[in-house]
């Protein structure tokens, strides 16, 4: 039997533009992340994404992300991972991000550790917006200059400014 957990409403892009900088807020960016293992990074990002969630909700959401990871690692290479999952425990898309100063082993497709993370969570019934956001993240991070700028951000505010600047180009 599936356990019911509280559902968390999260901020979505108010203009409908789909800009990542509008899905992300400084309180959902962590520079630096403290976790040093894949599982701990997932838990740290989920906790960041849904502040105020109880332990049961954190576990349920983290399990959804882990389930997706079991299919294929979301470590896409180049020091980037975009873990994601869909779960009834969130009501809208939510994005969190973090930078690990010491790269974390993440079973990335290129075999290299990861230092730049974007976590995307969405409700089970919103597949289209979820896929669109994943595509936008991956397209933006194809540019080495963007990856480097984000990895070198010293604060959540600088991270968000650099993300917004990259999207404006």
Residues carrying an active site annotation: 84
Closest to 46 (Cα-Cα) out of 4, 1, 10, 2: 10
Q: Which residue has the tokens 């009501």?
A: 91
Pairing of strands 80-81, 75-77: antiparallel
25 Cβ contact partners less than 8 Å away, ≥ 6 residues apart: 11, 160
**In which region does residue 51 sit, left (phi positive, over 0), alpha (psi from -120 to 50) or beta (all else)?**
beta
Q: Is the peptide bond before 32 cis (omega within 30 degrees of 0)?
A: yes
148 Cβ contact partners less than 8 Å away, ≥ 6 residues apart: none
């Amino acid at each position: 039997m599936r356990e019911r957990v509280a559902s968390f409403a999260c901020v979505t892009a108010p203009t409908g533009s789909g800009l990542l900088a509008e899905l992300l807020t400084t309180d959902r960016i962590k520079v630096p992340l403290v976790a040093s293992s894949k599982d701990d990074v997932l838990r740290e990002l989920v906790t960041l994404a849904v502040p105020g969630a109880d332990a049961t909700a954190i576990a349920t959401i983290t399990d959804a992300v882990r389930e997706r990871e079991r299919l294929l690692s979301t470590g896409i290479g180049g020091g980037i991972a975009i873990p994601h999952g869909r779960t009834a425990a969130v009501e809208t898309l939510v994005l969190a991000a973090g930078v690990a100063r010491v790269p974390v082993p993440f079973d990335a497709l290129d075999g290299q550790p990861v230092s730049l993370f974007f976590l995307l969570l969405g409700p089970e019934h919103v597949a289209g917006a979820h896929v669109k956001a994943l595509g936008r993240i991956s397209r933006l991070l194809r540019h080495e200059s963007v990856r480097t700028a984000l990895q070198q951000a010293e604060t959540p505010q600088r991270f968000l400014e650099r993300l917004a600047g990259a999207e404006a180009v």
